C-alpha cells in the first residue's frame, strides 16, 4: 500500500500568533461550519416539505439525492479536514485493488483543532443520520417503499462519513479490512439505485396508462 499524504499537509497552520487570544466560543471557520450543516439540512427540508410545493415524488427524489451527494462530498473532503483535522479516502493500486486510508493529525497538532468547531462537527455528523434512521423506521411502518429507498440512500451516504471519521478518530493506522466499506458501496450502487430506477420507471408507466385511460 502506498504511503498516505502527510498529516501536517491537511490544512494550513492557522493557529493564533504570539500575543493573540482566540475566543473559544467564536468559530475560526464560520463558512465551513455553515456548509457542514447547509447541504444536509437542506436535504432534510426538501425531503419533509417538498410535497407542499410539488405533488411529484420524482422532484423530491432528485433534489434530495443531489443535496445528499453534495453533502457527502463536502463533509468528506472539506469540513472534516478543516474542522477536526481528519480525512479518509481510497485509491486503486496498479493491480486493481482498493485501499482505504484514514488520516488524523499527530497528537502534537491537536491544539490546532478549535474546540467549538470540533463539537459542532461531531454533533452534525451524528445527529442527522439518527434523524434519517427515524424517517427510515417511519417509512417502514407506513409501507412507503419509495420513500424507504430515499432513506436508504441518505443512511448510506451519511453512514459512510460517520464510519470513515470514527475510524480516523479511533483508529491508529491505515490497515483496515475494507469489507464493510466495499459492501456499503456495492449495496448502494447495485441495490438501492436499481430499486430507485425500477420504481421511477413503474411510476412513469402507471402515469402514462392513467393518462391514456382519461383520454378514452
Q: What is the pLDDT of residues 47-83, one digit of tens each?
A: 988 777 776 788 889 999 999 999 999 999 999 989 8
Cα(160)–Cα(13) distance, integer angstroms: 28
Q: Is pLDDT of 7 > 50?
A: no
Cα(62)–Cα(193) distance, integer angstroms: 12
Lowest mean pLDDT among 91-95, 108-112, 173-177: 173-177
Question: Distance between alpha carbon 132 and the CA centroid of its chain, in Å?
Answer: 12
Burial of 122 (C-beta count, 10 Å sphere; 0-12/13-18/19+): middle
Amino acid at each position: 500500500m502506498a504511503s498516505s499524504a502527510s498529516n501536517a499537509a491537511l490544512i494550513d497552520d492557522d493557529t493564533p500568533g504570539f500575543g493573540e487570544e482566540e475566543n473559544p466560543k467564536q468559530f475560526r471557520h464560520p463558512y465551513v461550519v455553515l456548509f457542514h450543516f447547509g447541504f444536509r439540512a437542506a436535504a432534510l427540508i426538501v425531503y419533509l416539505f417538498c410535497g407542499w410545493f410539488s405533488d411529484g415524488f420524482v422532484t423530491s427524489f432528485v433534489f434530495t439525492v443531489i443535496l445528499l451527494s453534495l453533502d457527502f462530498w463536502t463533509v468528506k473532503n472539506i469540513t472534516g479536514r478543516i474542522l477536526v483535522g481528519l480525512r479518509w479516502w481510497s485509491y486503486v493500486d496498479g493491480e486493481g485493488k482498493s485501499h482505504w486510508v484514514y488520516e488524523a493529525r499527530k497528537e502534537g497538532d491537536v491544539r490546532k483543532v478549535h474546540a467549538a468547531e470540533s463539537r459542532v462537527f461531531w454533533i452534525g455528523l451524528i445527529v442527522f443520520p439518527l434523524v434519517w434512521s427515524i424517517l427510515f423506521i417511519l417509512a417502514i411502518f407506513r409501507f412507503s417503499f419509495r420513500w424507504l429507498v430515499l432513506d436508504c440512500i441518505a443512511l448510506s451516504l451519511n453512514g459512510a462519513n460517520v464510519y470513515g471519521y470514527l475510524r480516523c478518530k479511533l483508529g491508529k493506522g491505515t490497515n483496515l479490512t475494507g469489507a464493510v466499506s466495499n459492501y456499503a458501496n456495492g449495496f448502494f450502487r447495485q441495490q438501492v439505485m436499481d430499486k430507485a430506477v425500477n420504481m421511477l420507471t413503474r411510476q412513469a408507466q402507471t402515469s402514462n396508462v392513467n393518462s391514456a385511460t382519461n383520454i378514452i
